[in-house]
Structure 1
Amino acid sequence: MKKIITIFIIVCISSSFTTSKRVDAIIKKEILSVFNIEAFSKESLTISSEVNNILPIKLNDTNFFKIFHNNVVVGYYYFGNAYGKADFFDFIVIFNKELIVSKVKVVAYREDHGGEVGSKRWLRQFEGTSSDKNLEYQHDIAGISGATVSVKSMMNEVNKLLKTVTILNNKEQL
């Protein structure tokens, strides 16, 4: 019995590392593609606790990064999650240096229904959105039959992120 439990724990731990590497590979691919570069470096943002306390999304050293190419800031990216009908899904939002959304991608969707929220065609409607915009369901963001909960959740999380980025920019924390 102890062997089975030990094997189960090892499998769980090793699969969690694989997922992280897979997600990192997806993020890297998207950043290289968006900025049309061959290499980049990233740096987590250092935000004062005073500012972080007023942000709609609490940022830390694992979810919001500056993107550098040749030691010059070319953009930013956020790694977050939203809640679908029964489980969380992970996504990234890439901003250019003018804080315009360049790309949104769902990197892990864990439910059987509503996965259409990860389609490239649907996600393209976020592109070009400035950080001072507030997206509205059925006006700026189209619904998806069978994925209403995921659509609204994704839109709400992106709206909170846009407000967060606007506050950071206004407080000169970027």
Structure 2
Amino acid sequence: MKNRFVVLFLCIVTSLGLLSFSMPKNLQKKVEKEIKKTFNVDEFSLSKVIVPEVVSNKLKGKITEENLLKITIGDKVLGFAFIDKAPSKTDEFDYLVLLDKELIVIKTKILIYREDYGGEIGSKRWLKQFIGKTSKDTLKYEKDIIAISGATISASSMTIAVNTFLQNLEILHQNKVL
């Protein structure tokens, strides 16, 4: 009887852990694909980064245990993934920022773009501008990040979103969350 209870308890805990990622399945597949390609791995684990409320109150943007994830293989930390939305002209787009274990941006990716125009922000060439950025960097659209004709709102929005994330990264690092 005790063994059945233990097995049932473990099944419930495991199920709750898997259900706690509220990322839509199509988005999760895209994130996993980018992690595999960027880190050159077939298998890895994603775990939530818990941000204490006292630290969360200091952040300028929304970083939660749902959108900031640690990427590991066994005990080895490969890096971190940040998934969020940013506004475009009439809708929002989903984006991904991948960091190495030293908290340096190694990839940015537009995961889902919902507008008819402005999709150029998804180009690898434009997104490469964010690679190598750290929490010490401050990005300014049209100065540090090249503008895109026809995608002004989205390109500016992506720049602001990454810049805010980098500022929050510094706060998370200072407070020993990362």
Which of 62-71 and 102-111 deviates more? Answer: 62-71
Whole-angstrom distance in 2 between the partners of 1:42 and 1:138 = 35
- How far the C-alpha of 1:83 sits from its partner, in A, is 0.4
Query: Which one-letter code corresponds to 2:42 in the other structure?
Result: E
Alpha-carbon distance between aligned partners in 1 of 2:139 and 2:111, rounded to the nearest angstrom: 21
Structure 1 residues without counterparts, runs of 5 or longer: 1-18
Match runs of 1:69-108 below 5 Å: 69-108=73-112
Deviations 1:117-170 (A, max 9, x none): 111111111111112101111222111000001011100010000011111001
Distance in 2, matches of 1:136 and 1:59, equals: 21
SS at match of 1:39: coil
Query: Which position in structure 1 is the counterpart of 2:55?
Result: 51
Instruction: Give me the whole-angstrom Cα distance separating, in 1, the residues matched to 2:136 and 2:95.
Output: 20
Unaligned runs of 5+ in 2: 1-22
Same amino acid, percent of matched pairs: 42
Write the letter of the residue equivalent to 1:160: T
**RMSD over aligned Cα atoms:** 1.2
- Equivalence for 2:10: none
Deviates more, 1:76-85 or 1:135-144: 135-144
CA shift digits 1:70-122 (9 cap, x unpaired): 22111001000110111100000000011110110001111111111111111
- Of 86-95 and 32-41, the range deviating more from structure 2: 32-41
Between Structure 1 and Structure 2, how many residues are aligned?
A: 156
3-state secondary structure, aligned to 1:103: strand
Q: Aligned equivalents of 1:151 and 1:168: distance in 2?
A: 25
1:109 aligned residue: 113
TM-score (norm. length: structure 2): 0.84
Q: Which residue of 1 aligns with 2:3?
A: none
Structure 1 partner of 2:18 = none
Q: CA deviation at 1:21?
A: 1.9
Amino acid in structure 1 at the alignment position of 2:177: Q
